[in-house]
Structure 1
């Protein structure tokens, strides 16, 4: 692969929160590359560093050590190059659903009316057109997650990073959202990296990476299943 085919590369990346005895290492020396057309599922338990790794790839956080590069993104990790679906609430409370969805386009300099039309098209993909005029406070968790997916796709990014995109959805809706992510990535020629606890979702992507205690494994993985709860453990 030539450098332009590599959309993002992590080179010995680590991320530590806090200092001294209270320091927590969320990611330990991760090295990986995401190339054009990749379909990657990152699996692992809660707290294993999956979300932090995606945030590093999106330049939402800076590594404590190591470096992240974006050789295949002409203008770097900006909103119309990298679309991010966050695990937690991420919609802007003062904006309605269509305004939230159009935001990456507006930030990239698109005019308001074309941005609105594109936002409505993306909301239709996730079956959320009827939510267009609602404020985030009027949405359920699952509805807000679908809007977040539409927003990530609105600017036709080259790299889509989705953090537990089906986590708040019922199985049928989750399956549809993964369909949309995969189909849109195919249409755009984009790479898709998602984190998931769901082995059914993970198996739909070509590559499976895993994280455990902040350590990334990128070599071929067997079909992933969550660990069974022990006699004194609760199943997540």
Structure 2
């Protein structure tokens, strides 16, 4: 199948793009951020989408998450029940300053209507999974960049998503800390059974994932194009 990001035909397709494109603006000022992209992400996939800044990686990830709607083509989520089954990790700071770490981690659970007696226990378990349980009572301003990203991963893990999308999660970290954050992401995906898609411009991050696809000028390249 053209452009398929799959690791076995027996796995459920969690998200599928069919010639999906996204344009911002109109007329002469229009910018095509993503040209027609056709591929799918299946249960258990571990995928890196590589490319320089401005190549369309973030927009593609937003299409996968449903945060952006395609200007043309289609994006569907055949095996997902809804947005609660997708977890997003952003590149920049995403924690709410007024909430401590456990409250930030618990927020998606509260918004989803999880019973109060389960919320804190689930949040603490997620923090423990990413090695951040000792940070539970700290405020975001008291955390390092690497600690903040681990908490952001814990917030995603807490909702037990079937698909984790991470947009340049190591982009603002030094290489050693970035590799530790990636360790946490891969371990979290392994332990929850989630598929994982990571956008990155860092080859050392991309090589950690078995499936790698490149973007250039808004186009998701076919494997043959990537090798040329």
Relative to the length of structure 2, the TM-score reads 0.87
Q: How does 1:61-210 map to 2 (within 5 A)?
A: 61-73=68-80, 75-76=81-82, 78-79=83-84, 81-210=85-214
In the TM superposition, what whole-angstrom CA distance separates every residue of 1:122-151 from its partner, at most 9, and x where no partner exists?
A: 223333333322333443433322221111
In the TM superposition, what whole-angstrom CA distance separates every residue of 1:26-46 from its partner, at most 9, and x where no partner exists?
A: 111111100011110000000
SS in 2 for 1:166: coil
Q: Distance in 2 between matches of 1:114 and 1:152?
A: 16
The CA deviation at 1:219 is 2.3
For structure 1, the 5+ residue unaligned runs are 223-236
Root-mean-square deviation (CA), in Å?
Answer: 1.9
Q: Distance in 1 between matches of 2:203 and 2:67?
A: 27
The CA deviation at 1:11 is 1.0
Q: Distance in 2 between matches of 1:133 and 1:61?
A: 34
Relative to the length of structure 1, the TM-score reads 0.84
Aligned residue among 54, 58, 62 for 2:65: 58
How many residues of Structure 1 are paired with residues of Structure 2 in the alignment? 218
Query: Does the 8 Å contact 2:23/2:71 carry over to 1?
Result: yes
The CA deviation at 1:22 is 1.5
Q: Provide runs of 4+ in structure 1 moved above 4 Å.
A: none
Q: Distance in 1 between matches of 2:193 and 2:123?
A: 19
SS in 1 for 2:197: strand
For structure 2, the 5+ residue unaligned runs are 1-8
